[in-house]
Amino acid sequence: MYKYRAQLTKGDEIRYISHLDYAGVMERAIRRAKLPAAYSEGFNPHLKMSFASPLSLGVTSDAEYMDFELTKPLCQPEVFDRLSRALPPGIKLIRLKPVKEPRPCEGKKHKALMAEVEQGLYEIEAPLVGDWSKALAAIHKFNQATVITYHRVTPKKTRDIEVKQYMLDQVKASMVGERVVLDMNIAITQSGSIKPVEILELLVKKYGLPIDMGKALINRSQLLGQGKPLIDLV
C-alpha cells in the first residue's frame, strides 16, 4: 500500500457541515479523481482514510489533515493535481506528502494520525460592542486565573472541565478595525481537550468580554504534534 498525508482547508462555504459529512465529501473526491484507492476487507469495505482532530460545527480551518492509502504507486504531483481538481468549493488541498513507513528493521510504524495531534492553534474574530479597555481587562483576568471550570452539557452527560490544564499559552488579543481578534493555543490530548468556543463563552459570560458572540468567527490555523505541523511528521 502507498499512503499519503494531505493538509486541506474547510472554508466558509462548508463551515456548517459535520465532520462525518466532510469525510464523505473527501471520499467522493478521491473517487472522482479516479485514484487507485485502497479499501478495507470484509462485508462492508470502506476506503482506507483517517482524519485528525474533528472540528465543531461552524468552525473553519486551514489545517484539516487526512491520511489515505492507494494500491498503486503514483508520483506526488499527479496525486496532488488529480485530487485538487476533484475537490468542491470550500475545500482546498494545501500540501500532500507520501508517508514513508519505516522498514521492520528500523522500528515501529507511524502513530495513527489522531494520536499524533498534541495542540491546536485557533483564531477568533468578533465585533467589539464595548470599550477596548474592558476587553483587555477581561482577557487579563482570564489569563491570570489559575483554575477555571467549564460546565459542559451534552445530550448524554454533563461534566466539569478544568480549562487551564489545556491552555498552552495565554490568550492574546488585538484589534483589527472594529473586531477583536483572539489567538489561542490549546492542548489536545487522548483524554480530552477544551473547545475554543467554550473558552469564548467563559470570556464573555464569566469575565465580561464585550463582544457580539453570535457573530464570532472561529478558524483553526494549525494542528501540531511535537511542535510541528502534522504533515511534517511523515
Share the mean pLDDT of the chain.
94
Lowest pLDDT segment from 1-10, 35-44, 82-91: 35-44
**CA-CA distance, 57 to 60, in Å (whole number)?**
9
User: Range of 55's domain?
Assistant: 2-115
Q: Burial-class residue 7 by CB neighbours within 10 Å (0-12, 13-18, 19+).
A: buried
Last residue within a domain, chosen from 115, 140, 174: 115
In a domain, 234, yes or no: no
Within its chain, how far is the Cα of 61 from the centroid? 6
CATH at residue 136: 3.30.70
How crowded is residue 167: how many other Cβ atoms within 10 Å of its Cβ? 18
| Residues 137, 76 within the same domain | no
Mean pLDDT across the stretch 46-51?
93
Cross-strand pairs, 66: 6, 51
In a domain, 233, yes or no: no
| Residues 53, 152 within the same domain | no
In a domain, 232, yes or no: no
Cross-strand pairs, 98: 4
| Residues 61, 158 within the same domain | no
CATH at residue 34: 3.30.70.580
Question: What's the confidence (pLDDT) of residue 95?
Answer: 97
The cell for 205 is 459570560
Who has greater pLDDT, 42 or 141?
Answer: 141
| Residues 8, 111 within the same domain | yes
| Residues 144, 207 within the same domain | yes
Last residue within a domain, chosen from 84, 100, 115: 115
In a domain, 78, yes or no: yes
Mean pLDDT across the stretch 116-143?
97
pTM, whole model, 2 decimals? 0.92
In a domain, 230, yes or no: no
In a domain, 64, yes or no: yes
Last residue within a domain, chosen from 115, 149, 181: 115
| Residues 52, 149 within the same domain | no
In a domain, 208, yes or no: yes
How crowded is residue 212: how many other Cβ atoms within 10 Å of its Cβ? 13
| Residues 24, 110 within the same domain | yes
- Whether residue 175 contacts residue 128, with contact meaning beta carbons closer than 8 Å, is answered with yes
Number of domains observed in the structure of the chain: 2
Mean pLDDT across the stretch 126-153?
96
| Residues 152, 107 within the same domain | no
The cell for 124 is 477568533
| Residues 138, 204 within the same domain | yes
| Residues 68, 123 within the same domain | no
| Residues 147, 98 within the same domain | no
Alpha helices in the chain (DSSP H): 19-32, 76-86, 113-116, 132-144, 196-205
Within its chain, how far is the Cα of 161 from the centroid? 20
